[in-house]
Structure 1
Amino acid sequence: MKKWMLGLLLTVVSIFALSACGDEGDKKADANTSGSEDGYESTTIRLAYNLPQDHHIAVGIENFAKEVVERSDGKVNVQVYPAGQLLSDKDMNQSILSGGVEMGVNSSTLWSSTVPAMGVFDVPYMFNDYSAVGEAVNGEFGDKLRGAMEEKGAKVLMFADYGYVQFANNKRKLTKPEDFKGLKIRSIGDLPSELIQAYGASPVFMGGGEVYMALQRNTVDGATSGTTAMLQRKYDEVTKYLTVNNYAYLEFLLAVNKDYWDKLPEKTQDLLTEVAAETETWIREQAEKEDTESAKALEEKGMDVYYVPEEELDVWKEAAAPVRDVFIENAGDLGKELLDLIDKK
């Protein structure tokens, strides 16, 4: 009887022991699964840009960084270096490609020296309205550009709409292409320089932060830029005339060093992609509003603003036609494919 009771007792104890081990194993498995699904690996991403901090793209980028940090509980730490503190716009791309900085924001115009097809945004009078740009970059057009960038070593996380580009100068009102003759105009890249020459002026390339002083010292007579940056960089203090002809639609790219991106955990990649998509939408919504309001503000500050009538744009387009040929020559088959995609719209 005693042996029977002892055997029963040992059996019960064994069952409880096995059950406890099983529960403990389940708990450990659950803990490991939770860690892989819910946690982020710690990493620090340096993000540089050269725009004024109150520009709508800069505001969007700052919020992008903040959201990434908050949603990862601080594990994905995005350190932002604004307004050229770390890199000038002229040095940005090479730093991204070499891994000198993990992430950066720069114009499609400046990226065109590395990926010539990026110059498509500078082909004069390609995009008639704001919505057309969003449709293009979120479709086959944008996919082709993203692929070309990745081949060079940079992944595009976001197309950030800067808005339309205009001309300011301190010599005379520009009401037709012939009025450009003899002027020295600050350019922002190769194709804008071609356009400036097609209109009869001389292009002078310089970074955004150098323009105010150059205008003040008459090193240049005018500059091409968006009205948002003109307002924030106080062009109204050093130029008199503004011509609004919407000749190009400038994009800025939030790009990541491709090798760095490929080594990030998938969970971190998904977070960055998600927040970038949300930010891109917000920035696009701001572009039209900011263009309109900044042009009005410049006029209120004393600039003589001339809006080229729609019925007169054909003259401007005809004079700019050679620039399209230069783009195709530089960008090759991909450039022609991109133009064909836009022409079909």
Structure 2
Amino acid sequence: MKKLWGISVAIGAMVAFLLAGSAHAGKVYKMRYSHGLPPQHYMAQIQAKWAKLVEEKSGGRIKIEVYPGGTLVNDKHLFEALSTGSVEVGGIYNFYLEPNVPEFAGLAPFGVAWNHDVNVAVSESFAKKKGPAWECAKAAEKKNLKVVAWLPWGEAGPRHGMAGTGKQIILPEDMKGRKIRPLGSLAPKVYKVYGGRPVYLSGAELYTALQRGTVDAVLICAAHMIQRKLVEVTDWYTGNFPWGTYVSTIICVNRDFYNELPPDLQRILFEAGEECRKEINETGYLLLNKFLEQTRKLVKVHILTREEQAKWTNAAAPFVVEFVKSKGPGCVRVYNEVQKIMKEFGLPYHFVQK
């Protein structure tokens, strides 16, 4: 009798397990994906591809509705929406993560000049689960975000810069009296020293703000000149800016929602992210080169020389160490990890003592 009872219990447990697995297998998980870019933007398209890949790889067990252009949540409020779970997934910029996850501030403070190789290497550190991007991703979990993809824009070098109206900004002293949109929290301090006035805007506000004179200049990449049509409301573009925030779109899932997913679906989010990361690393900077050439035909373009770039780097230098240290040991660790990569590629580097 005891033996039969034991067999019955074992069978019952197995049936319950199989039923639970069957319920998981049959459940459809719906996700709303928010980002701030117009649908035609090349980085919007790679995010749309990620969503499509996830749906395909999951066999329809995950359904993702993409809301571009800040139509669901404004960029500036996306962190809060993701961390609280009012939005399940979103593409958030690294500089919008910085205020709440200070490790992101160590990637490239204003005045640090990456090249394309560094841009790629930082993103690869996420895939390898070792290095600066991975450190940032681990820190984001403490804020209830699960990073599943790291998509760099490929904008290092001439492909990123400043655009504006009126007198072209080439040297730090050209900022005097100008209203400028910053990225990251260090840039405004440098602006103010040289008489500039920081004006905070989301990407969706750039066109109108430049058109109305709310801002005189903005830090952007060459894609925005064409895909956000900023060539229509600017007079010039200055490339090769060490602007201190080499933008990456970080795909984050609300951690509570992520933890509800079965392990196989969790893996799919990362697999799709890795496919998209590799693709954008190969194609992003080439697209930006094309946008830069188009920009040359429509507005005045100046690419900073090494000497001119060094003046910006030197202007920021007194602030960098203090800034990185003020953000805490995690930020210092990430900053130094990036500096190791820069050293490997023969670029100027500087370590901050903990």
Residue equivalent to 1:140: 131
For the pair 1:332 / 2:328, whether they are aligned, the reply is yes
Moved more, 231-240 or 39-48: 39-48
Residue equivalent to 1:201: 196
Asked if structure 2 preserves the Cα contact closer than 8 Å seen for 1:44 and 1:76, the reply is yes
Residue equivalent to 1:284: 281
The aligned amino acid for 1:123 is: P
Residue equivalent to 1:7: none
Assess, with a 3 A threshold, how the Cα gap between structure 1 residues 341 and 40 changes in structure 2: closer, same or farther: farther
Matches within 5 A, 1:214-293: 214-247=209-242, 248=244, 249-293=246-290
Shift of 1:199: 4.2
Residue equivalent to 2:140: 149
Assess, with a 3 A threshold, how the Cα gap between structure 1 residues 81 and 229 changes in structure 2: closer, same or farther: same
What is the alpha-carbon distance in structure 2 between the residues aligned to residue 300 and residue 144 of structure 1? 41
Residue by residue over 1:115-162, the C-alpha shift from the partner in whole angstroms, topping out at 9 and shown as x without a partner, is 122123441343532221222231321221111100111011111112
What is the alpha-carbon distance in structure 2 between the residues aligned to residue 96 and residue 198 of structure 1? 35
Residue equivalent to 1:181: 176
Moved more, 269-278 or 281-290: 281-290
What is the alpha-carbon distance in structure 2 between the residues aligned to residue 132 and residue 238 of structure 1? 32
Asked if structure 1 preserves the Cα contact closer than 8 Å seen for 2:104 and 2:136, the reply is yes
Residue equivalent to 1:56: 42
Asked if structure 2 preserves the Cα contact closer than 8 Å seen for 1:116 and 1:330, the reply is no
TM norm structure 1: 0.85
Asked if structure 2 preserves the Cα contact closer than 8 Å seen for 1:188 and 1:206, the reply is no
Shift of 1:234: 1.4
**Which secondary structure does the structure 2 equivalent of 1:213 belong to?**
helix
**Which secondary structure does the structure 2 equivalent of 1:152 belong to?**
coil
Residue equivalent to 2:340: 344
For the pair 1:72 / 2:67, whether they are aligned, the reply is no
Assess, with a 3 A threshold, how the Cα gap between structure 1 residues 94 and 59 changes in structure 2: closer, same or farther: same
Residue equivalent to 2:317: 321
The aligned amino acid for 1:246 is: F
The size of the alignment, in residue pairs, is 315
The aligned amino acid for 1:158 is: A
Shift of 1:291: 2.4
Residue by residue over 1:67-120, the C-alpha shift from the partner in whole angstroms, topping out at 9 and shown as x without a partner, is 111222222111111111111101111000000000001111111111122123
**Which secondary structure does the structure 1 equivalent of 2:27 belong to?**
coil
Shift of 1:198: 4.2
The aligned amino acid for 2:56 is: E
Assess, with a 3 A threshold, how the Cα gap between structure 1 residues 148 and 46 changes in structure 2: closer, same or farther: same
Shift of 1:39: 4.5
Assess, with a 3 A threshold, how the Cα gap between structure 1 residues 41 and 130 changes in structure 2: closer, same or farther: farther
The aligned amino acid for 1:262 is: N
Assess, with a 3 A threshold, how the Cα gap between structure 1 residues 264 and 98 changes in structure 2: closer, same or farther: same
The aligned amino acid for 1:63 is: K
**Which secondary structure does the structure 2 equivalent of 1:50 belong to?**
coil
Assess, with a 3 A threshold, how the Cα gap between structure 1 residues 284 and 214 changes in structure 2: closer, same or farther: same
Assess, with a 3 A threshold, how the Cα gap between structure 1 residues 286 and 323 changes in structure 2: closer, same or farther: farther
Structure 2 unmatched runs, 5+: 1-10, 342-354
What is the alpha-carbon distance in structure 1 between the residues aligned to residue 68 and residue 188 of structure 2? 27
Look at both structures and tell me which one has the larger radius of gyration over its CA atoms: 1
For the pair 1:297 / 2:288, whether they are aligned, the reply is no
Higher helix content, 1 or 2: 1
Asked if structure 1 preserves the Cα contact closer than 8 Å seen for 2:37 and 2:68, the reply is yes
The aligned amino acid for 1:104 is: G
Q: 1:83 aligns with which of 69, 72, 91?
A: 69
Percent identity over the alignment is 28
What is the alpha-carbon distance in structure 2 between the residues aligned to residue 117 and residue 327 of structure 1? 12
What is the alpha-carbon distance in structure 2 between the residues aligned to residue 261 and residue 197 of structure 1? 42
Point out 4+ residue stretches in structure 1 off by more than 4 angstroms: none
What is the alpha-carbon distance in structure 2 between the residues aligned to residue 274 and residue 48 of structure 1? 20
